[in-house]
């Protein structure tokens, strides 16, 4: 399993853009690239994806999800980690069988008080109740989705996916060029939902090249 981990002094602005365009992805207070990953006893080969935001429009199915969540209050702002968000994280992670960081602070900042990223958040409220929060990092021309958590009691609202759409909307409104939602894994469909956001591009690590999928999985790189 080939991998590299870096921890620069900071990872925002054009510095983050450069890492993202070369197929790297955030892990805590580091950024990494990896060619393969073991999951459930098998070896898989992740592929980074990104969505061009210039000229992008939400198709009908995505607009329906946005409309369904109009009843809630959605806020975009500089990220913070609060007891309220930690409580929501605890409520969310019980869904997972495999290992996951036990705290939100540990997952985002490895328990440290500061971060080397310029991180923002999307927070969703039902009245005064926090029901979802997602975190994303800003570069100069790019933004990268990091994680989203939601209250399982609101499962019918697709809040995890909705906050991704809200991140994309933030990127469009603020003039960013690309949205990086992480990676997909051929043969491991749990991550395929990310391709529903639109006509994504896939990173060919061997040739250092991004290619469009024309709406279909592009796994034969």
- pLDDT per 10-residue tile (average), the chain, 221 residues: 84 96 94 91 94 97 98 98 97 81 95 95 98 98 97 97 98 98 94 95 93 57 38
Task: Provide the whole-model pTM.
Answer: 0.94
Is 220 contained in some domain? no
Is 94 contained in some domain? yes
Which pLDDT score, from 0 to 100, does residue 221 have? Answer: 38
Which pLDDT score, from 0 to 100, does residue 62 have? Answer: 98
Is 218 contained in some domain? no
Read off the CATH number of the domain in which 44 is found.
3.40.630.30
Is 219 contained in some domain? no
DSSP characters over the chain = --EEEE--S-B-BHHHHHHHHTT-EEETTEEEEES-EEETTEEE--EEEEEE-TT----HHHHHHHHHTTTSEEEEEE----HHHHHHHHHHHTT-SS---SSHHHHHHTT-SS-SB-EEEEEEEETTEEEEEEEEEEBSSEEEEEEEEE-GGGGGG-HHHHHHHHHHHHHHHTT-SEEEEEEEBTTBGGGGGGGGGSS-EEEETTTTEEEE-TTS-----
Is 69 contained in some domain? yes
The residue segments making up the domain with residue 38 are 3-212
Is 83 contained in some domain? yes
Is 217 contained in some domain? no
Please state the domain count of the chain: 1
């Amino acid at each position: 399993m080939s991998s590299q981990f870096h921890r620069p002094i900071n990872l925002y602005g054009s510095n983050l853009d450069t890492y993202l365009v070369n197929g790297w992805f955030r892990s805590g207070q580091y950024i990494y690239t990896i060619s393969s990953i073991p999951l459930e006893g098998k070896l898989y080969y992740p592929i980074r994806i990104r969505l061009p935001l210039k000229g992008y429009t939400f198709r009908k199915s995505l607009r329906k999800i946005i409309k369904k969540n109009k009843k809630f209050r959605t806020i975009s702002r500089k990220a913070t980690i609060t007891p309220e968000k930690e409580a929501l994280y605890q409520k969310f992670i019980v869904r997972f069988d495999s290992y996951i960081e036990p705290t939100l602070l540990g997952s985002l900042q490895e328990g440290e008080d500061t971060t080397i990223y310029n991180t923002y958040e999307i927070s969703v409220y039902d009245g005064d109740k926090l029901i979802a929060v997602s975190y994303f990092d800003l570069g100069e021309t790019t933004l990268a989705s990091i994680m989203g958590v939601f209250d399982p009691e609101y499962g019918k609202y697709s809040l995890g996916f909705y906050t991704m759409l809200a991140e994309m909307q933030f990127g469009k409104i603020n003039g960013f060029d690309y949205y990086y939602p992480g990676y997909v894994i051929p043969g491991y469909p749990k991550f395929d939902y990310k391709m529903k956001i639109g006509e994504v591009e896939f990173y060919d690590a061997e040739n250092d090249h991004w290619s469009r999928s024309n709406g279909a999985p592009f796994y034969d790189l």
